[in-house]
């Protein structure tokens, strides 16, 4: 059982405004809930529509009806488990390695994929411009899976961050130098730009190195999607010192 | 104006069965319609809800109401242009370079991204197992953009294709050899497996080389998404002989 006001609160967490107000976010699906329970992220409540699920999960759950679950869910096909977690405080930025900076990434699927890539490639810090889509957006969480708990995501003025860093700043540009030929340093910041417009002019001015991925097909081809380009560039960075 | 039976036909093309029956498929949005008009793919009809759009497009369009467009569209927010095209015959497989083989890829977004990647990296032929999601699925087309017209996509028995090829077969496996260290030949087949299960046993048995992308983060990390892994491996193949 869950009260109407609880359902209303949980539904409201689909919006950034209410997530920030309550400092809570929602994930759906057994796998992600399990991963987050094992992480440092603090749980608020877990709802399930499946009897005995709490036992299986090793965590106290609130049993709800399927119809209540549907009301709370942001998915077309709701899962049998939904977890409410506390938004963790961003950790202080301690840059010891490569860091990724995102300049106005708008698509939740792209951000989710990039967070998962940071996790795979051992990138500890992800600095997002204030205009980048919120990482606790349900669609981002669907694409990141548990990676959200292993990458320190900081929203801040990207320009200020880049102005203050002493590290080399590598930006991805269509007309940059072919990345294959670059001598890649041990530490740096990789900046990826907006889906439609690329890296903005003011951020471009701060880039110490402009890099690109060569195109092998027909020149009429669309540019690479930003998440795909990030995967290739992070691979290039890691393979260089492998 | 468009008749009810036309609307019904166009809506039916959201399903593979009817696409195959009528040998037609639908794309939505000005950009993709334009690209397909410039390609070898033959157009059947273009519908628009915008007066004078045909002039702008340089092609005769059927003017429809916004409500008719909504009925035909597969999108939540329908576009002002929808094109019906003839499904092209697959060209004969002439393998002169690297080819990608897909073993049971189910997610339309993944297939769409992989087609776009083939286009970017100049991969002419994409061989899909019969169980792979149909490339004229509206969600695939949304992710491929115009690339669908520049990659020859063949659905066939992947096992038979691999049994008959004389090229080396590189499969992506979690426990494969680190791709960075491999001497990559000029020609070959890159096989990517199903999202949940990877490459199937019978296809694995045909692989001459098992390769992997090393993981740099925490070992609890999710595996890479198949489209992301394809982007990294195609980049590895192309950079080797760059």
B215 touches A at CB < 8 Å: yes
pLDDT confidence of residue A223: 82
d(CA B34, CA B59): 10
**Does A151 lie in the same domain as A43?**
no
The answer to whether residue A91 sits within a structural domain is no
Q: Which residues of A touch B120 (CB under 8 A)?
A: 215-217, 221-222, 224
For residue A242, give the chain B residue with the closest CA. Answer: B180
A215 touches B at CB < 8 Å: yes
Boundary (domain end) residue, out of B31, B54, B86 = B86
pLDDT confidence of residue A227: 96
Separation in Å, CA of A202 to nearest CA in chain B: 28
pLDDT confidence of residue A76: 82
Domain that holds residue A207: 99-240
pLDDT band at B213 (very low <50, low <70, confident <90, very high): very high
Q: Is the pLDDT of residue B90 over 80?
A: yes
**Does A136 lie in the same domain as A214?**
yes
pLDDT confidence of residue B91: 83
Q: Which residues of A touch B121 (CB under 8 A)?
A: 216-217
Task: Pick A116's closest partner by Cβ from B222, B231, B239.
Answer: B222
Residue with tokens 């699920």: A53
Higher pLDDT, B143 or A44: A44
Task: Pick A221's closest partner by Cβ from B119, B180, B231.
Answer: B119
A117 touches B at CB < 8 Å: yes
Q: Is the pLDDT of residue B8 over 90?
A: yes
| Residue B36, both tokens | 């397909």
**Does B119 lie in the same domain as B199?**
yes
d(CA B18, CA B44): 15
The answer to whether residue A217 sits within a structural domain is yes
Separation in Å, CA of B129 to nearest CA in chain A: 23
pLDDT confidence of residue A167: 96
**Does A33 lie in the same domain as A11?**
yes
Task: Pick B120's closest partner by Cβ from A122, A147, A221.
Answer: A221
pLDDT confidence of residue B106: 97
Per-residue pLDDT of chain A (242 residues; tens, 9 = 90+): 788 999 999 999 999 999 999 999 999 999 889 989 988 899 999 999 999 898 999 999 999 999 999 999 998 888 999 999 999 988 888 888 999 999 999 999 999 999 999 999 999 999 999 999 999 999 999 888 889 999 999 999 999 999 999 999 999 999 999 999 999 999 999 999 999 999 999 999 999 999 999 999 877 777 899 999 999 999 999 999 89
Q: Do A221 and B35 touch (CB under 8 A)?
A: no
B96 touches A at CB < 8 Å: no
Q: Which residues contact A23 (CB under 8 A, 6 or more apart)?
A: A86, A87
Beta strands in B133-196 (DSSP E): 152-155, 169-178, 189-193
CATH number at residue B107: 3.40.1280.10
Q: What count of other Cβ atoms lies within 10 Å of the Cβ of residue A168?
A: 14
**Does B121 lie in the same domain as B77?**
no
**Does B16 lie in the same domain as B103?**
no
Rounded to two decimals, the ipTM of the complex is 0.91
Q: Is the pLDDT of residue B1 over 80?
A: no
User: Of the candidates A191, A151, A149, which has an alpha carbon nearest to the alpha carbon of residue A168?
Assistant: A191
CA A218, B140, A26, A130 torsion: positive or negative? positive
8 Å CB contact between B85 and B101: no
Q: Is the pLDDT of residue B113 over 80?
A: yes
8 Å CB contact between A44 and A86: yes
The answer to whether residue A115 sits within a structural domain is yes
Q: What average pLDDT does chain B have?
A: 94
Q: What count of other Cβ atoms lies within 10 Å of the Cβ of residue B179?
A: 22
Q: Which residues contact B55 (CB under 8 A, 6 or more apart)?
A: none
**Does B154 lie in the same domain as B224?**
yes
d(CA B166, CA B159): 13
Q: Do B217 and A242 touch (CB under 8 A)?
A: no
Boundary (domain end) residue, out of A41, A64, A86 = A86
Boundary (domain end) residue, out of A51, A86, A121 = A86
Q: Which residues of B touch A217 (CB under 8 A)?
A: 118-123, 150
8 Å CB contact between B79 and B106: no
Dump pLDDT digits (tens) for B43-86: 999 999 999 898 999 999 999 999 999 999 998 888 999 999 99
Q: Buried b / exposed e across B49-66, counting CB within 10 Å, b at 16+?
A: bbeebbeebebebeebee
User: Of the candidates A181, A212, A228, which has an alpha carbon nearest to the alpha carbon of residue B233?
Assistant: A228
Which of A107, A120, A184, A190 best probes binding to B when mutated, by most B CB atoms within 10 angstroms?
A120
| Residue A197, both tokens | 């417009």
Residue with tokens 């694409």: A143
**Does B104 lie in the same domain as B78?**
no
pLDDT confidence of residue A208: 98
pLDDT confidence of residue B78: 86
Query: Sheet containing A169-178: which strands, arranged edge to edge?
Result: A152-155, A125-128, A99-103, A189-193, A169-178, A209-212
Q: Do A119 and B217 touch (CB under 8 A)?
A: yes
Task: Pick B214's closest partner by Cβ from A119, A145, A242.
Answer: A242
**Does B71 lie in the same domain as B115?**
no
| Residue A224, both tokens | 């690479």
Tell me how far CA of residue B231 lies from CA of A34, A54, B68, B101, B122, in angstroms: 29, 40, 39, 14, 12
- SS3 state at A101: strand
pLDDT band at B3 (very low <50, low <70, confident <90, very high): confident
Task: Pick A217's closest partner by Cβ from B120, B218, B228.
Answer: B120
The answer to whether residue B220 sits within a structural domain is yes
User: Of the candidates A76, A57, A99, A60, which has an alpha carbon nearest to the alpha carbon of residue A190?
Assistant: A99
For residue B121, give the chain A residue with the closest CA. Answer: A216
Percent of chain B with pLDDT over 70: 100
A227 touches B at CB < 8 Å: yes
Domain count, chain B: 2
B28 touches A at CB < 8 Å: no
Q: Do A232 and B231 touch (CB under 8 A)?
A: yes
Task: Pick A228's closest partner by Cβ from B117, B123, B146.
Answer: B117
Q: Is the pLDDT of residue B142 over 90?
A: no
Q: What is the mean pLDDT of residues B170-188?
A: 96
Q: What share of chain B is helix, strand, coil (3-state, %, to 5)?
A: 40, 20, 40
Beta strands in B73-195 (DSSP E): 81-86, 99-103, 125-128, 152-155, 169-178, 189-193
**Does B233 lie in the same domain as B161?**
yes
8 Å CB contact between A122 and B217: yes
Q: Is the pLDDT of residue B227 over 90?
A: yes
**Does B222 lie in the same domain as B112?**
yes
A174 touches B at CB < 8 Å: no
Higher pLDDT, B143 or A43: A43
B51 touches A at CB < 8 Å: no
CATH number at residue A30: 3.30.1330.30
**Does A117 lie in the same domain as A25?**
no
Task: Pick B235's closest partner by Cβ from A109, A225, A232.
Answer: A232
């Amino acid at each position: 059982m869950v009260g109407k006001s609880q359902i209303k609160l949980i539904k409201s967490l689909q919006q950034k405004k209410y997530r920030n107000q309550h400092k809570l976010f929602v994930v759906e699906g057994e796998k992600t809930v399990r991963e987050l329970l094992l992480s440092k992220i603090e749980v608020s409540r877990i709802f399930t529509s499946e009897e005995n699920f709490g036992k299986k999960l090793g965590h106290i759950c609130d049993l709800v009806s399927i119809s209540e679950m549907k009301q709370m869910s942001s998915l077309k096909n709701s899962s049998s488990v939904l977890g409410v977690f506390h938004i963790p405080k961003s950790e202080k930025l301690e840059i010891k390695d490569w860091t990724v900076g995102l300049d106005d990434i708008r698509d939740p699927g792209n951000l989710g994929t990039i967070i998962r890539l940071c996790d795979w490639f051992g990138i500890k810090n992800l600095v997002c411009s204030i205009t980048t889509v919120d990482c606790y957006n349900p669609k981002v969480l669907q694409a990141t899976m548990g990676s959200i708990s292993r990458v320190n995501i900081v929203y801040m003025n990207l320009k200020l961050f880049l102005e203050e860093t002493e590290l080399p700043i590598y930006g991805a540009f269509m007309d940059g130098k072919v990345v294959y030929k670059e001598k890649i340093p041990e530490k740096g910041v990789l900046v990826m730009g907006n889906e439609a417009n690329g890296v903005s002019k003011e951020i471009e001015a701060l880039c110490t190195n402009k890099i690109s991925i060569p195109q092998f097909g027909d020149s009429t081809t669309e540019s690479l999607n930003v998440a795909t380009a990030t995967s290739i560039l992070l691979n290039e960075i890691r393979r260089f010192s492998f």
